[in-house]
Amino acid sequence: MRKGLKIAAIVAAVAGLSTLGLAAETVKVGFIYVGPIGDYGWSHAHNVAREICEEHFPWLETVYVESVPEGEVETYIDQLVRQGCDIVFTTSFGFMDGTYAAALRYPEVVLAHCSGFMRAPNLATYMADFYQVYYLNGLMAGALTKTGKVAYVGAFPIPEVKRHLNAFAIGVREVNPQAEVHVRWIYEWFNPAAAKEAAEALVAEGCDVFAFTEDSPTVVQVAAEHGLPSFGHYSPMYDFAPDYVVSGQLVHWEAIYLDFLQKVHDGIYTNENLEHVDYWWLLSQKAVEVGAKPGMMINPVFEDDLKAYSVDHPVFGKISAYDLVMTRYNQMADPGVTFDPFHGPIYDRKGILRVPEGMWMSVDALITLEWAVEGVVGPWPGEP
């Protein structure tokens, strides 16, 4: 009897090792999404990446749960662990506390939390961030506006969205120093009706180029109805308005997932060494892409306008908006990144110097950014 138990324990230990991918036959991975995978935004993009991973690794098995309320993430982690998951990804900022608590309770499970900052020996963090892409979109928007008013429909006034909005506005002002970026907040990540009415309000205010953070193609469609250009967000939105989508922000979560899963499989990452594993992946790691759809950085419809728009640039002298976009893109997409949109001097719209001459912002400063740059017009809750 005793012996039987011992053997069982050994079998369990071996099984435990194999579940960590060391003796690797299959690795089972669970994904927890905050929204429905049909949102065509955030959760959809994570799910597309999950499918790519499953396709790519023969040893990988995945499961997912969708529309998980942020406060209930722990229950769902319990469920996935009981189902035998070796790795669990939780993909919303609001899952952070629950994921951290679960990481302490399941020291043998590898966890990774998207967009947060709490880590543990078995809990990594990761994020594919858009701020460089928004900046490049801003360069294009500044060149295309005729009224000098560019629109931005924002989801929530939180650091992530503020960072993107600021980067966008920095781009706009770099090519068009007089232009303004008009903002409306909808206080939802996904709400087509709210996005529609916010966009209509900005149309009524005289804005003629549109960017946004909301998980549906609504703003693109509203702009097109008024014959105005826009920038897609998150998923390829070119098809929704082929004549009006200039470019946009595209994500490739699979870049991070493939790298992470490979490293766990190879034993480089284990449940004991993730304390400092934080993916903050940008253009140069190809986790994000500039484009109206994959492979189309700038819609050909707008190429001539951008080439014809001349900028008197402090660094490059006379340069077309098109060439400026390409130059900046190369500077940021190159593995040895030589440019960042948030380079000093940057003043906020109250005139306070936020980034000194010659300095770049740290990642920590970027993810806690609350101020608004010059040129942003409209409400800014939490403005310091």
- Positions touching other proteins (CB under 8 A) are 36-40, 44, 184-188, 190-194, 196-198, 200-201, 204-206, 216-218, 221, 235-236, 239-241, 377-379, 381
Q: Are 139 and 175 in contact (CB under 8 A)?
A: yes
Report DSSP state, residue 94. Answer: G
Distance of closest approach, residue 190 Cβ to other proteins, in angstroms: 7
Distance of closest approach, residue 206 Cβ to other proteins, in angstroms: 8
Which CB atom, from 221 or from 230, has the smaller least distance to other proteins? Answer: 221
Distance of closest approach, residue 248 Cβ to other proteins, in angstroms: 13
SS3 17: helix
Give the integer Cα–Cα distance in Å for 361 and 377.
23
For residue 110, the surrounding DSSP H or E stretch is strand 110-114
Which residues fall within 8 angstroms of residue 92, CB to CB, at 6 or more apart? 33, 34, 42, 70, 73, 114, 115
Distance of closest approach, residue 31 Cβ to other proteins, in angstroms: 16
Which CB atom, from 295 or from 336, has the smaller least distance to other proteins? Answer: 295
Which CB atom, from 191 or from 327, has the smaller least distance to other proteins? Answer: 191
Which CB atom, from 120 or from 198, has the smaller least distance to other proteins? Answer: 198
Distance of closest approach, residue 201 Cβ to other proteins, in angstroms: 4
63 CB neighbour count, 10 Å cutoff = 16
Which residues fall within 8 angstroms of residue 123, CB to CB, at 6 or more apart? 99, 100, 103, 111, 112, 113, 274
Sheet of strand 230-234: strand arrangement: 288-290, 245-251, 230-234, 209-212, 149-154, 180-185, 376-377
Which CB atom, from 45 or from 319, has the smaller least distance to other proteins? Answer: 45
Angle, CA of 184, 185 and 189, to the nearest 5°: 135
Q: Which of 384, 379, 359, 358 is nearest to 369 (CA)?
A: 384
Distance of closest approach, residue 374 Cβ to other proteins, in angstroms: 17
Which residues fall within 8 angstroms of residue 177, CB to CB, at 6 or more apart? none
Which CB atom, from 301 or from 377, has the smaller least distance to other proteins? Answer: 377
Distance of closest approach, residue 309 Cβ to other proteins, in angstroms: 27
Which CB atom, from 44 or from 328, has the smaller least distance to other proteins? Answer: 44
Give the integer Cα–Cα distance in Å for 47 and 364.
28
User: What residues does 8 pair with on adjacent strands?
Assistant: none
Q: Are 222 and 196 in contact (CB under 8 A)?
A: yes
Which CB atom, from 176 or from 221, has the smaller least distance to other proteins? Answer: 221
Distance of closest approach, residue 298 Cβ to other proteins, in angstroms: 20
Give the integer Cα–Cα distance in Å for 147 and 315.
26
Distance of closest approach, residue 186 Cβ to other proteins, in angstroms: 8
Which CB atom, from 152 or from 342, has the smaller least distance to other proteins? Answer: 152
